[in-house]
């Protein structure tokens, strides 16, 4: 069975990229060791064009908690959409996954924690329990949590110390404790919450049909 990208140390993953990845939910990876992991991590290395494209693609895998096979499946589907550049469609799709939405609403401290809340049946879409992290949230959908979800320490911790500074403008959050949210517009490619060069990923997957 293929391993999830989150099986590696979240600090090492971020240090290997030289930047913090919000979805991993563990800030401070570069504060003490602002260089790559391993005994030679601090040395300058000649980086190939392929390695640069690979690192950019890895950002997507790490942030959204995907496996390579899952990402390739999304790439193939998005290339069939002719309305816009397929990379824009890809980011919009990944940002609309239920686990990503729960994280962006600051209801979970990481994508992994959002996965756990979803799989445990603590997330409701239009009042119905939805336990698939890959579920796509559409415009007009109303999100909330079950009573158990609102009592979840992950949720309470996220409200006290939110991982994301702002909630995307595509969501209208209501309630004194921000207990419900409605998707009022589609996600934008610019909503991706970290520095990202989509053109490099486009070049990485140019052979995928």
| pLDDT single digits (tens) 77-95 | 999 999 999 999 999 999 9
- The full length of the chain comes to 209
| pLDDT single digits (tens) 5-23 | 444 576 677 677 788 888 9
Q: Go through the domains of the chain in sequence order and give each one's CATH number.
A: 5-92+194-204 (1.10.1050.10), 97-186 (3.10.290.10)
Q: What share of the chain is helix, strand, coil (3-state, %, to 5)?
A: 45, 10, 50
pLDDT at 7: 44
Tell whether the model's pLDDT for residue 64 goes beyond 60: yes
Residue 87: beta bridge partners?
Answer: none
Cα–Cα distances (Å) from 129 to 108, 124, 182, 187, in that order, read 17, 4, 16, 22
The answer to whether 136 and 97 have CB atoms below 8 angstroms apart is: yes
- Round to whole Å and give the CA distance between 74 and 90: 7
pLDDT grade for 35, boundaries at 50, 70 and 90: low
- pTM of the full structure: 0.85
DSSP state letter for 96: T
Listed range (24-38, 59-73, 129-143) with the worst mean pLDDT? 24-38
């Amino acid at each position: 069975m293929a391993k999830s990208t989150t099986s590696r140390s979240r600090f090492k993953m971020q240090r290997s990229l030289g930047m913090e990845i919000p979805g991993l939910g563990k800030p401070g990876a570069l504060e003490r060791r602002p260089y790559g992991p391993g005994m030679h991590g601090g040395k300058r290395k000649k980086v190939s064009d392929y390695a640069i494209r690979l690192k950019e693609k890895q950002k997507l895998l790490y942030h959204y908690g995907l496996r390579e096979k899952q990402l390739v499946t999304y790439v193939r589907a998005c290339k069939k959409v002719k309305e816009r550049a397929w990379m824009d469609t890809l980011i919009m799709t990944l940002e609309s996954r239920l686990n990503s939405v729960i994280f962006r609403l600051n209801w979970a401290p990481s994508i992994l924690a959002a996965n756990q809340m979803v799989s445990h049946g603590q997330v409701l879409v239009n009042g119905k329990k939805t336990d698939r992290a890959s579920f796509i949230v559409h415009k007009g959908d109303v999100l909330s949590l079950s009573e158990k979800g609102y009592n979840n320490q992950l949720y309470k911790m996220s409200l006290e110390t939110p991982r994301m500074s702002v909630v995307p403008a595509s969501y209208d959050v209501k309630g004194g404790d921000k207990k419900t949210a409605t998707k009022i517009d589609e996600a934008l490619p610019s909503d991706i919450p970290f520095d990202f060069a989509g053109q490099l990923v486009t070049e990485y997957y140019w052979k995928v049909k």
